[in-house]
Amino acid sequence: MRLDRLIQLSFRMGSKEARIFLARRNVQVNGNVEVHGSAQIGHFDRVEARNTVLQARVPRYLLLHKPVGVVSATTDLLHQTVIDLIREPWASELHLAGRLDRFTSGLVVLTNDSSFSTALTLPQKKVPKTYLVTTDSDIASEVVEAFKNGMLFAKEGVTTEPAIFDLLGNRCCRLTIFEGKHHQVKRMFLRFGIRVVALHRESIGHLHLGDLAAGDYRELTAEERLVP
Ligand code: URA
């Protein structure tokens, strides 16, 4: 938003009044006097005028270990949500950067910075997501091949990127996919009549769950906050 617009809205001023107000050096952006109404104000810029804070948002970035049973939503009438697990006064400001279904556990990112969440979830970015998968029946080599070749999702009109498939046992694998379609992993296995009985997300791009316990969360480090 332009600075003059913010001044007009905050003080119910007309454009001429706002221009004079700015010219009189009444307004500070991030601690520095700003006289130009055309200055663009970012979501997290701090704006003050005559000892009144007009805008002050702190960017927040959390990595949460979502337990099974918790829903990836900000509100839900029936179930506990990921937001309910965040014991911070600003929890309600957060939104999810990518969801997990209720029966899937693992890494979710919560933030109030929409440029960060967009960078993590934009389909064109093809950010890798790695899952530990346990199935109800044996995983045949043709299944592994199909995942590695990519699969057509007719409903979405998308062929998945070749997945990275690491067979860890007859019914267990580590799988990396590059999209985030609804119930994607479960739907991919169901093509072969295989049900996923446990699904756990270990990483998204450069973000790793590590040994964070289920239900716990931590802030992203400065390095982790760099957009992919
Ligand atoms: N694939 C699924 O089936 N569920 C998830 O939550 C994520 C990927």
CATH of domain 61-219: 3.30.2350.10
pTM of the model: 0.90
Give residue 156's pLDDT. 84
What's the 87 CA to ligand 1 centre distance in angstroms?
A: 26
Residue ranges of the alpha helices (H) in 75-164?
114-121, 141-149
Whether ligand 1 lies within 6 angstroms of the CB of 5 is answered as no
Q: How far is 156 from 101, CA to CA, in rounded Å?
A: 18
Give residue 216's pLDDT. 98
Give residue 155's pLDDT. 84
166 catalytic? Reply is no
Angle between helices 3-11 and 15-23 (to 10 degrees): 110
Whether ligand 1 lies within 6 angstroms of the CB of 104 is answered as yes
Q: In terms of DSSP bridges, do strands 95-96 and 164-169 run parallel, antiparallel, or are they unpaired? A: unpaired
Tokens found for residue 46: 């701090």
Give residue 99's pLDDT. 97
Predicted confidence (pLDDT) per residue in 170-213, tens digit: 999 999 999 999 999 999 999 999 999 999 999 999 999 999 99
**Contact present, 202 and 131 (Cβ < 8 Å):** yes
Give residue 157's pLDDT. 87
Which of 125, 139, 141 shows the shortest CA–CA distance to 204?
125
Give residue 154's pLDDT. 86
Ligand 1 atom 4: residue of nearest CA: 183
Predicted confidence (pLDDT) per residue in 106-129, tens digit: 999 999 999 999 999 999 999 999
Ligand 1 atom 6: residue of nearest CA: 100
Pick the CATH number of 3-55 from 3.20.190.10, 3.10.290.10, 3.90.640.10, 3.30.1950.10: 3.10.290.10
Q: Spell out the domain ranges in the chain.
A: 3-55, 61-219
Residue ranges of the alpha helices (H) in the chain?
3-11, 15-23, 114-121, 141-149, 184-190
Q: Which of the residues in the chain have pLDDT under 50?
A: none
Catalytic residue among 101, 113, 166, 211: 101
